Amino acid sequence: MSKSDTKKEASVKTRKAIVHLLKQNGPMDAVALSSELNVTGMAVRQHLYRLQEERLVDYDEESRPMGRPAKLWRLTAEAARLFPDGYMDLTVSLIDSMKEAFGEAGLEKLLEVRNKKMQDQYAVQLAGTEGIREKLEILADIRTNEGYMAEIAEHEDGDLLFVEKHCPICEAATACTQLCRNELNLFRAVMGDKVHIERSEHLLSGGSRCVYKITK
């Protein structure tokens, strides 16, 4: 492999790492990315501008106490194509076909059946767990294996947050909003009546992730 090919391969690898970090952590500035990747800030900025040309990233400016506003880089909707899509073309086509064949009421009934099956599957995997955090940690593992990149975080008021950084069914959920409503109902069902769950951030509403706040 020539030096130019090696350099090109390294650049592609770095850009992939930047995309992954922005997916994992949400908006970041070039300094934070540079620290994570152990490369110079100038190099990171060059990669970010290249990704911006490809419409994969964009930035918002954030005021700082001193100096100029910082650029907080984030992924665009276009970047979703870099992550597993769960065979979305087929799924969206099937949703349209079900609407045509059975109407909205029929589609809603089919989604209720799907939701009930998922509840049963999750309940089996959560059986024997004690405590809200333990349940959420297992649920995060389940959802990560399904492609949602889920994790547990803490809100500033001490409540727990269930965070999903990727939605492998995003296109289907755009075509069928009942899917998102059913997922919220699914979490409420498997976590039980002792907790209150509300969605505070939503990918389909322009957020960079889906976040559920869990309150006792």
What average pLDDT does range 93-120 have in this prediction? 86
Query: 144-163: per-residue pLDDT in tens?
Result: 988 899 999 998 888 999 99
Is residue 148 within 8 A of residue 164, CB to CB? The reply is: yes
- The H or E element spanning position 131 is none
As a dihedral over the C-alpha atoms of residue 50, residue 55, residue 57, residue 58, rounded to 10 degrees, the angle is 100
Q: What's the average model confidence in pLDDT over 12-22?
A: 91
Q: What is the pLDDT of residue 52?
A: 94
pTM, two decimal places: 0.67
Q: Which residue has the higher pLDDT, 77 or 127?
A: 127
CATH class of 3-82: mainly alpha
At 58, the pLDDT band (50, 70, 90 cuts) reads very high
The enclosing H or E element of 212 equals: strand 210-215
Boundaries of CATH 3.30.1380 in the chain? Answer: 88-215
Length of the chain: 216
The share of the chain scoring above pLDDT 90, in percent, equals: 46
At 89 the pLDDT is 66
* pLDDT, mean of residues 195-200: 93
Please name the amino acid found at residue 6. T
For residues 186 and 203, what is the distance between their CA atoms, to the nearest angstrom?
A: 18
Assign a CATH topology to domain 88-215. Answer: Muramoyl-pentapeptide Carboxypeptidase; domain 2 (3.30.1380)
CA distance 87 to 137: 27
| Average predicted confidence (pLDDT) for the chain | 87
Is the predicted pLDDT of residue 86 greater than 60, yes or no? no
CA 10 to chain CA centroid, nearest Å = 26
More confident of the two residues 210 and 206: 210
Predicted confidence at residue 17, as pLDDT, reads: 93
| Average pLDDT estimate for 66-95 | 77
Q: Write the pLDDT tens digit of every residue in 111-136.
A: 889 899 999 999 999 998 888 999 99
Rg (CA), the chain: 20
What are the strands of the beta sheet with 210-215, ordered from one edge?
Answer: 150-154, 160-164, 210-215, 196-201
Please tell me the least confidently modeled range out of 7-11, 56-60, 194-198, 209-213: 7-11
pLDDT value of residue 143? 92
